[in-house]
């Protein structure tokens, strides 16, 4: 089942994408697709390059959405706490992240960073989250092409570990990590985003995103 929000910004309705690709209105059944960070219509969001930024970068990542909350979750039971999965573009300003005091939040939390979607795919459709291809292109050039099988820590380990330090809540989204091919690591010189470019990215079974970069 693919859950989403649709409609005019600020007036979105909960919906479901059926097998024919049509959106079914769920507003008569539920008030919302739980979790305020599940952004609607992510395929059409702009990403704003922060003012003065020289090193805005991309990262396609598997997003893990918590369904059943909890703390001190056993690794063996961790996947039962997962409601589903989604695509995340963990947009990162590398100067802010690395060169301004060592606190990563500054490079990860700028407005419009981290678009999520296009939908939440429930866990029953993804029997093994460690066997999903993922990729990202900028202006048609593929920079990232990997698989979740290469993650250093698998989804169950991540959920269990995080729950040692904070209670996980329904709707929480965990962004897991990215394969090789980010702009910072490009050889012979790093490559970063500039206004007017198009990012396109996706994960097997979870759909695709597309964003246009604009100046803030």
- Residue 34: its pLDDT value, please? 58
pTM to 2 decimals?
Answer: 0.81
How far is the C-alpha of 134 from the C-alpha of 155, rounded, in Å? Answer: 15
Output the tens digit of pLDDT for each of the chain's 216 residues. 778 788 887 788 888 787 778 887 877 666 676 554 344 443 344 899 999 999 999 999 999 999 999 999 999 999 999 999 999 999 999 999 988 887 778 899 999 999 998 889 999 999 999 999 999 999 999 999 999 999 999 999 999 999 999 999 999 999 999 999 999 999 999 999 999 999 999 999 999 999 999 999
Note whether 143 and 58 are within 8 A (CB): yes
- Measure Cα distances from 125 to 4, 19, 129 in Å: 15, 13, 10
Homologous superfamily of domain range 37-215: Fumarylacetoacetase-like, C-terminal domain (3.90.850.10)
Q: Where are the domains of the chain?
A: 37-215
Task: Tokens for 191, please give them.
Answer: 């490559």
How far is the C-alpha of 116 from the C-alpha of 59, rounded, in Å? Answer: 12
- Measure Cα distances from 38 to 9, 27, 30 in Å: 13, 16, 15
């Amino acid at each position: 089942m693919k859950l989403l929000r649709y409609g005019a910004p600020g007036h979105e309705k909960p919906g479901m994408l059926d097998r024919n690709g049509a959106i079914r209105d769920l507003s008569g059944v539920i008030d919302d697709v739980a979790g305020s960070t599940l952004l609607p219509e992510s395929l059409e969001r702009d990403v704003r390059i922060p003012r003065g930024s020289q090193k805005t970068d991309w990262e396609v990542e598997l997003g893990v959405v918590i369904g059943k909350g909890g703390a001190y979750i056993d690794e063996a039971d961790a996947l039962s706490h997962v409601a589903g999965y989604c695509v995340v573009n963990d947009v990162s300003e590398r100067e802010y992240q690395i060169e301004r005091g060592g606190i990563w939040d500054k490079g990860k939390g700028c407005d419009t960073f981290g678009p999520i979607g296009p939908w939440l795919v429930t866990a029953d459709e993804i029997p093994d989250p460690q066997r999903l291809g993922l990729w990202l292109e900028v202006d048609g050039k593929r920079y990232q092409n990997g698989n979740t099988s290469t993650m250093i820590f698998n989804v169950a380990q991540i959920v269990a570990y995080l729950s040692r330090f904070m209670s996980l809540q329904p709707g929480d989204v965990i962004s897991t990590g990215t394969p090789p091919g980010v702009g910072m690591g490009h050889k012979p010189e790093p490559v970063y985003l500039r206004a007017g470019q198009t990012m396109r990215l996706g994960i097997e079974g979870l759909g695709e995103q597309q964003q246009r970069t604009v100046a803030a």
